[in-house]
Amino acid sequence: MKAVFQALAANAKLHPNAIAINEGSRSISWSGLADAVARAASGFATSSKVVGLRLSGIDYVIGDLAATLAGRRLVPVPAFFSDGQIAHLMQDAGADLVTSLPDGRRGHSLDYAGGATRVIYTSGTTGRPKGVVLGDRQIAASLAALSQALQPGPDDRYLSVLPQAQLLEQVCGMFMPILAGAPVVIDREAAASLFTGDGRALARIAEETHPTVTVLAPRQLALWVAELRRGAPAPASLRYVAVGGAPVAPALLSEARALGLPVAEGYGLSEACSVVAMTPTTASDGSTMTVLDGVDVSIEDGEIVIAGPTVMEGYLHGECQQGPWHTGDLGQLQDGRLEVLGRRDAMILRQSGRNIAPEWVEAEALADPAFPVAALVQTPEDELILVAAAISSPDMAGLIQRLSALPSYARPDQLVIVDPRAPGLIRPSGTADRRVAAELARSATTGCMTLRYPEQQSQPVEVTS
């Protein structure tokens, strides 16, 4: 992180009046950002040693950098967390919740002494939040690897539309632009598309601000593509659109690229400081991920294992992480190219002996913006049921077409459409709880249909409604 603060000081000296961050009607220059960070850091230096940061926009950037500069332990708090969830985080981390920037003295130095840590809460596979502890070593190594891969520069303009409490957005949307001297555009309405299901703000802000780089969740990509289909233009300024956090349907990637979005996939996890592999900027498609420089990836018994300086210090309240990190993700590695196959503990084993990673089937459903979440579950009779929460009418013809491209043994036998408000279905991470989905499938009396694929089209689709 020392390099980030050195770059911030240099940007403030060389380009004091240039805009560093724009957020709607509010903006801040490089000198203004440097002064605000220094002042807030002075205030944090006399406050709690563990800071639960619940801010947004420009204030979040200032608060994150200032708490780090003051050597504090930082706990980013997701804006969508309930009061009860926030209370749990603060108690677990021993943090004091901060909802406004502290006031400190002007002229505080930007010389970072080191030693700050951040705790990123991840829901894992059980839904119980776990705190991943990361320090200077992990952040610096991740920034070096990503900078080598993306080659950012002052001519870039980063569009920030992911929640700022996500580690990926902290690294790509805050630290890396500062290192590059590149401006950032923050748009809260576009970020809210993850929860509202409306991609118009994302398409509009991209058209208005001419970004060169942005990072999206798969759902945001699906919403943006839906707007492009309706005639929204893809900004010619874009050179790289990274999509990560979950598998993306190949058909969605292909359509996005055909509509003018230079989309590429990425793979990572908080335990390895966010990004492990990504599609190179020179790739002709978005499907081949290359392991980042400085990250050591191997496959052991089919499981992705990561070693190197980006691996976390450990889980909060747990032992220090020693040696390689066994991710629990299944994958294949050939000539430096990584293919991720899904979670080991989520794998479905059919009676035929075939293994199915449910994430890749679910991705085909999530390519439709009508579905915020989806889950593939197996019945005791060895049937596959796709449980999908719908906020609008889905494109059934498109869904059948995408599912038809799967091997026959991986195609769902039934589709059950459920209410996204079903208790416990959507976890705080925004993904579906498959256990809840399985129970909804068992108890469903409406919204059920038997799926028929092209070779079965002579048979009627059975619908229960």
- The DSSP string of 168-187 is HHHIIIIIHHHHHT--EEE-
In angstroms, the CA 120 to CA 75 distance is 7
pLDDT at 112 over 90: yes
Average confidence score pLDDT of the chain: 91
Query: Average pLDDT in the 426-447 region?
Result: 87
Which pLDDT value is given to residue 130? Answer: 86
Which pLDDT value is given to residue 462? Answer: 46
Taking the model in full, what pTM does it have?
0.89
Which pLDDT value is given to residue 108? Answer: 77
17 token code pair: 């009046």
Contact 161, 203 (CB under 8 A): no
Contact 130, 54 (CB under 8 A): no
pLDDT at 210 over 90: yes
Cβ partners under 8 Å of residue 57, min gap 6: 23, 26, 164, 186, 188
Which pLDDT value is given to residue 281? Answer: 63
In angstroms, the CA 274 to CA 452 distance is 39
Q: Residue written as tokens 């900004």?
A: 235
In angstroms, the CA 101 to CA 59 distance is 7
The bridge status of strand 303-307 relative to strand 296-300 is antiparallel
Which pLDDT value is given to residue 40? Answer: 96
Query: Average pLDDT in the 214-221 region?
Result: 94
One-letter identity of residue 344? R
pLDDT at 39 over 90: yes
One-letter identity of residue 446? T
In angstroms, the CA 42 to CA 63 distance is 11
